[in-house]
């Protein structure tokens, strides 16, 4: 006899239901159109009080959505980087992983963008600036401002992520940042 599947407490299931509905509403209606009423309709909830019961306020709800989306995106990046070594290869895997995520989960990308553009939620956790700095220490990358290069890469990925086919530009973007970071 196998191990029984772990059942999530009702509160975790309800939080996930509200979070998923919020992602859909943000992606489809934008930040201004994301009201508790709209979330309730999307989630099939009978009362806005159910949202207030599970989240202290809209800020906590949006922070939870941002965390969930970023965790899902990180899983795509980890899969892309599985078995990859070397900073140049990890940079390529990062770009592919982010664009694979955008192609597979466009609503999540649009929802996160709405949150980042309209709240104090940070746009990034600092990655890939750390990888750029690591590559410079190892001599794999030329000298440059890692924060500036990181911002340029994130901006490029975010622009491609909103395209009809985010993966279409992946190889060109990898080539651009490979050339931009090469030691002289």
Q: How confident is the model at residue 10 (pLDDT cuts 50, 70, 90)?
A: confident
> For domain 10-181, is the CATH number 1.10.357.10?
yes
pLDDT(126) > 90 = no
| Integer Cα distance of 169 and 95 in angstroms | 10
Contact 111, 63 (CB under 8 A): no
Asked if the model's pLDDT at residue 127 lies above 90, the reply is: no
CA 36/CA 25 separation, integer angstroms:
10
Phi and psi of 9, rounded to 5°? -60, 150
> What is the predicted pLDDT for the residue at 8?
61
């Amino acid at each position: 006899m196998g191990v029984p599947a772990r059942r999530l407490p009702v509160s975790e299931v309800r939080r996930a239901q509200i979070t998923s509905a919020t992602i859909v509403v943000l992606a489809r209606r934008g930040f201004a159109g994301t009201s508790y009423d709209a979330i309730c309709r999307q989630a099939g909830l009978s009362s806005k009080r159910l949202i207030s019961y599970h989240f202290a306020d809209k800020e906590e709800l949006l922070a939870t959505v941002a965390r969930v989306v970023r965790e899902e995106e990180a899983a795509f990046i980890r899969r892309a980087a599985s078995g990859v070594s070397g900073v140049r290869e990890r940079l390529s895997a990062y770009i592919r992983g982010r664009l694979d995520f955008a192609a597979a989960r466009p609503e999540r990308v649009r929802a996160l963008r709405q949150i980042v553009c309209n709240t104090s939620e940070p746009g990034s956790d600092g990655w890939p600036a750390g990888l750029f700095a690591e590559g410079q220490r190892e001599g794999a990358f030329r000298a440059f401002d890692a924060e500036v290069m990181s911002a340029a890469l994130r901006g490029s990925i975010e622009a491609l992520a909103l395209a009809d086919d985010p993966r279409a530009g992946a190889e060109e973007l990898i080539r651009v940042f490979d050339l931009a970071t090469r030691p002289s």
